[in-house]
Amino acid sequence: MLIILSGLYLISTRNYLLFHSLAEIFSILVASSVFVIVWNSRSFMKNNYLLLVGISYLFIAIIDLLHTLGYSGMGVFPGYGANFATQLWILARYIQSISLLIAPFFLDRYLNAQKTLIIYFIISSLLLSSIFMGMFPDCYIEGSGLTTFKITSEYLISLILLGALLMLLRNKDRFDSYVLKLLSISIILTILAELAFTFYIGVYDFSNLVGHFLKLLSFYLMYKAVIVTGLAKPYDLLYRDLKLNEDKLRKEKQVQENLSETLELLNKILRHDILNDLNVIYMALDNLSYRVDAEEINMSKGAVNRSLKLINEMRDLENSEYSIKPGSLELKEMIWEISKDFPVEIHVAGECRVIADRTLNSVIANIIRNAILHGKAEKIDVTLEQSSEMCEVRIADNGQGIPDEAKAHIFEKGYKYGQTGHTGVGLYIASKIVERYGEITVEDNYPKGTVFILKLKSPNH
């Protein structure tokens, strides 16, 4: 790059018009290369900042080409003069600075490349038309030099670029450190170039020369940033993005662990309080057994004992003394044991062996309990039917039944129906338990009531 700059300087001392043409052509080639690289790597380039800037550089290159061809002495656009080339210069710098300013806003937003290209085309075409039609403000007057609009615009563009630099640095964690350095220096050089272009009077002045050198360096550094991101180090930058996502997931995991610890603490407190209350109820029932029907007292004490057993099992599971592992279970014997807890007629027909764990007890008990409490059932028939791979368990009651509209949602968490305001949480949990080794459905029982059907895997499955 130093050799190129030195050569251009030597050319400027002999023929400034040739220097200007070569400097601008080099900048145009660099800007066009930035667009080509960005456009062809857009499918895997995750940085929308560079994608937007790359698209803008295509139109900057086109306008700079017109600026080069319209420069004083070139004779390509006769009758337009130095003002024409200066207007094109200002237009290109406005597009460049505004693009760099808005690019950081798309780091976390979706950017449609095709639509962005069309938008830039429309805006650039309208602004170029305003120059060719004489509607764009004058920027240079022969004999007087730069106009107030041109000088003010250069300072305004410098302020926009300064804002772009601050926005870039605010998002520095989104860029590779080397790429960030290239982009930052590129913007700083562009600011210095704009300031240099506020001093010249003649289009061949020294400040104009310095401005073009600074612009050339700025474009080259932008090109380097795109090369690093799009071609040279895409996988390194991809690894960096993965590393950032990993850190984010680690933080989220820590939040989840903290929440889990809080829930575990609440669970222990709740279990402790329930355990104490059950012990109080058990002692009260024991005292009442001398004055009240013994059978009813024994049934109540049995329910309390089972609740105590369930809480102790939960505690054992939490302490990992043993885990829930599915095994071979004989359902008929298990359901007979469950039936002793309920004050209704329960018949069990057939035999069945399944692969499940002890949580299946709570599933069947929950279905029977709902039939009694919410369905007002007085009789429950359980039918077991064994096949080579499956066991079908039909739990039919003669209660009020479940409305058709409720059946579709009966296993959803928090679903409510009926006068009891039943939340359905128990059946939701039951469905989640059964899903591990089978399925559960519900249908009408005839002439009245409900049938819950469990299809469970047999040991031969």
Domains in the chain with CATH codes: 2-232 (1.20.1070), 255-318 (no CATH), 327-457 (3.30.565.10)
Closest-CA residue to 197 (of 218, 217, 209, 211): 211
Contacts 24+ apart (CB under 8 A), 64-70: 64/24, 64/27, 64/28, 64/31, 64/88, 64/89, 64/92, 65/24, 65/28, 66/128, 67/24, 67/92, 68/20, 68/21, 68/24, 68/25, 68/28
- The DSSP code sequence of 381-426 is EEEEEE-SSEEEEEEEE-SS---HHHHTTTTSTT--BTTTTB--HH
Question: Cis link prior to 447 (omega < 30° from 0)?
Answer: yes
- Backbone phi and psi for residue 364, each to the nearest 5 degrees, phi listed first: -65, -40
| φ, ψ dihedrals at 374, nearest 5° | -105, -30
Q: Please compute Rg for the chain using Cα positions.
A: 40
CA distance 115 to 123: 12
Per-residue tens of pLDDT for the chain, all 461 residues: 677 767 776 876 677 788 778 888 888 998 898 899 888 878 777 778 889 999 999 999 999 999 989 887 787 888 787 899 899 999 999 999 999 999 999 988 888 999 999 999 999 999 999 999 989 999 988 877 788 998 899 899 999 999 999 999 998 888 878 888 999 999 999 899 888 877 655 545 667 778 778 888 888 888 888 776 655 555 555 566 667 677 778 888 877 776 666 566 556 655 655 666 666 676 666 767 666 666 666 666 666 766 666 665 555 555 544 445 678 899 999 999 888 878 889 999 999 999 888 778 888 988 998 888 788 899 999 999 998 889 999 999 999 888 888 888 888 876 776 655 444 456 877 888 888 889 999 999 988 999 999 999 988 76
**SS3 assignment, position 342:** coil
Q: What are phi and psi of 80, to 5 degrees?
A: -95, -35
Do 331 and 353 contact (CB within 8 A), yes or no? yes
Which parts of 174-291 fold into alpha helices (H)? 177-196, 206-227, 234-288
Identify the pLDDT of residue 199: 65
Contact 153, 146 (CB under 8 A): no
Q: Identify residue 37 by its one-letter amino acid code.
A: I
**What does pTM read for this prediction?**
0.52
CA nearest 343: which of 377, 293, 384?
Answer: 377
Indicate the DSSP class of residue 73: T
